[in-house]
Structure formats: structure tokens, C-alpha cells
Amino acid sequence: RVSSCSYPSSARPPGPAPRPSSNKQRPPPNLRRLTARIVDLTRRRQLAQIMAEVEASKRRARSGRGGGVNIIVMNAVLEACVSCGDVDLAVQLFDEMRGPMGCGVDGVSYGILLKGLGIARRIDEAFEILESVEKDTSDGSPRLSPHLLCGFLNALIEAGDMRRANALVARFRQVLYEGQSVLLYNLLMKGYIKSNFPLGALTVKDEILRQGLKPDRLTYNTIIFACVKSAEIEKAFQFLEDMKVSHKGWKG
């Protein structure tokens, strides 16, 4: 949905109806360029320039000269705010997006905001948002999904907050394990290695097997590193042999 500060509407000229777009979410060309520009400026950590160019695009729309913003553009801006460490601005923009004059929000918007709140250690706010999503009372009707939750989970793990990381997993286990992937488990293992209890990664491996999943090479490499970090060298060699058997094409 493009916000009210985007392209002015015009009557369709007579003739055959145009073919529907194959990708309804694809932004108009100038908004694609703006999105790409935001991504480039984010890499350079030039948040002030991003905000200046977004405001300029809004002004062009208000004067009827094209421009404007939409969810895709503003999600890129949210990501820029989080990447540049300005979570307060991300929260402010998110509120504007879901306001009456905003372009709206979607699951991507929520995922970025949750990640930012996790990085900023504003955990209570993040859980309040998750509760509203869970109760289906959030603007934009986002769906709980691994994509929405994993950014927040990774932020907790990077901060070494395994207590809250495990609480998040316990509460939303069914959602996080959609697709039966070992990605989440590998993420938890990384968290234990960053903590003061690296051998906690072994309990995660046991959970993988209980779920009927097959550990991948990253799983084994993470476990081996956990053993080495804990000075459990014999266990490290044992898991190395297990990996060779499990992944017979591997040569080491």
C-alpha cells in the first residue's frame, strides 16, 4: 500500500484494461531507486542522509511531482535506523507508518522493530509487541513466524541473554520450529558458546535428535568448537568422527 503522500491518482485512458502486474508488491520505478539508495546509504551508516532523501520524496509527492513512500521503502528506513543504532527513531517511524496518514506496516516491519528492541535491550517492549501479535490485535495483522521472531532471538543471543532466549523459544516453540529446520538450534548453540556454559550446546544437539532432525555440518562444527572452548578435547574428536560418518562426503 502506497501512502497518501505518493503518486497522485489519475483517470485511466479509454482502451483495453491494462494487464495486472505480475508482482503487486513491486514499488514504482522511482521508489525502487529510492529503496536501493537507502540500502546503499545504510551500508555507509549515513542515517541523516537517508532521512533527508525520504523527506524530499514526500515533498515531491505533496507537490504532485511523483515520489512518496510505501511499506517497502519505509521498511528499508527502519532497517537503516536499527543498523545505525537509532532504535528510538525506528519506534517513532513505525508508529507513523501505522498511523492514519502512514503507509502501513507488515510482518517485515514488526520483525525489524523487534530486532531493534532486542539489540537495544528493550526486552519488555518487544514482548508486549509479540503479545499483541499473538492475540491478533496488531496493526497490519502480522502472522507469528520464524522470520518475525528470529531477529529478536538472535539479538538476545548476541547479548548473551540465554535466559530470555530460552524463554522466547519455550513460549513460541511451535512457531519457531516451523519447517523443521536446524537453523534455530544452531542459533541457540551459538548463544551457549557466547555464554559461560558452552557445553550447553550439547543439550541442543540432543533436542535436535529428539525432534527427528539431522545435524548439519554447522551443527557439528559449533559443537566441536564448544568442546574445544571447554577443554573437552576428547569429546571434540569424538564429534569430529561423528561428523565424518554422518556426512560421508566430507573430507578432513
The per-residue pLDDT for range 150-207, each reduced to its tens digit, is: 899 999 998 888 889 888 888 887 787 776 678 888 888 988 888 888 898 898 888 8
**120 within domain boundaries:** no
**213 within domain boundaries:** yes
Q: Please report how the helices 146-158 and 107-119 are oriented relative to each other, as an axis angle in degrees rounded to 10.
A: 10
**38 within domain boundaries:** no
Range of the domain at 234: 180-252
All residues at 6 or more sequence positions from 115 whose CB lies less than 8 Å from its CB, including other chains: 82, 151, 152, 154, 155
Global pTM value: 0.76
The whole-number pLDDT of residue 6 equals 38
All residues at 6 or more sequence positions from 166 whose CB lies less than 8 Å from its CB, including other chains: 188
Per the CB < 8 A criterion, the answer to whether 104 and 95 are in contact is no
**192 within domain boundaries:** yes
**53 within domain boundaries:** no
**Alpha-carbon gap, residue 251 to 139, rounded angstroms:** 51
| pLDDT higher at 140 or 42 | 42
How many domains is the chain built from? Answer: 1
**220 within domain boundaries:** yes
pLDDT tier, 28 (very low <50, low <70, confident <90, very high otherwise): low
**43 within domain boundaries:** no
The continuous run of DSSP H or E covering 30 comes out as helix 29-43
**211 within domain boundaries:** yes
The whole-number pLDDT of residue 103 equals 93
Q: Which of 74-83, 175-184, 200-209, 234-243 has the lowest mean pLDDT?
A: 175-184
Q: Is 183 helix (H, G, I), strand (E, B) or coil?
A: helix
Query: Is the pLDDT at 84 greater than 80, yes or no?
Result: yes
**Alpha-carbon gap, residue 191 to 195, rounded angstroms:** 6
